Amino acid sequence: MSEHPSVTGVEGLQGLVGQHIGYSDWHEVTQEQVNTFADATGDHQWIHVDPERAKSGPFGGPIAHGYLTLSLGPYFLPKMWDVHGFSMGVNYGCEKVRFPSPVPVGAKLRCGATVDEVEEIAGGAQVKLTLTFECEGAPKPSCVAQVVYRYYT
């Protein structure tokens, strides 16, 4: 992975508006991770948790839940930038989420991020980013999401 930006405070975040801040390292999505997510959410659909049945399904094998892919945003984001000058950051929500392509179990997934907007709020900053999750070698992204984080001083 290349060097990622390190920013301090609202001004530092505002300096990144319109910029692609880079990519995370690759992360292998395992069947164990998919099964754990299924247990946490109660979504045990066979396309996720039954590898034998999934072989004859529409994707040729088990796939990760779309929301598992999206939930990796907070895992990947700190690997793409260092944000300083705040005591905490919270996931505030999503503006738009799409899942154009599946994540096969065993695939290597990474995330790229672009800073879309930074707004000062009481006690900190609200940041909108576009996260693009992609599987190694896949022609289309697996998930594209505009997410909103809040950083508080």
Tens digits of residue pLDDT in 56-103: 999 999 999 999 999 999 999 999 999 999 999 999 999 999 999 999
Provide the token pair at 101: 């392509």
Provide the token pair at 76: 């990947």
Q: 60: left (phi > 0), else alpha (psi -120 to 50), else beta?
A: left
Provide the token pair at 1: 């992975």
| CA 75 centroid distance within chain | 7
Helix, strand, coil in percent for the chain, rounding step 5: 25, 40, 35
- Sorting pLDDT into bands at 50, 70 and 90, what band is 5? confident
Partnered with residue 93 across adjacent β-strands are 148
Is it true that domain 6-29+64-152 has CATH number 3.40.50.10470?
no
Partnered with residue 22 across adjacent β-strands are 113
pLDDT value at 12 more than 90: yes
Q: What is the pTM for the complete model shown? A: 0.92
pLDDT value at 1 more than 60: no
The helix/strand/coil state of 115 is strand
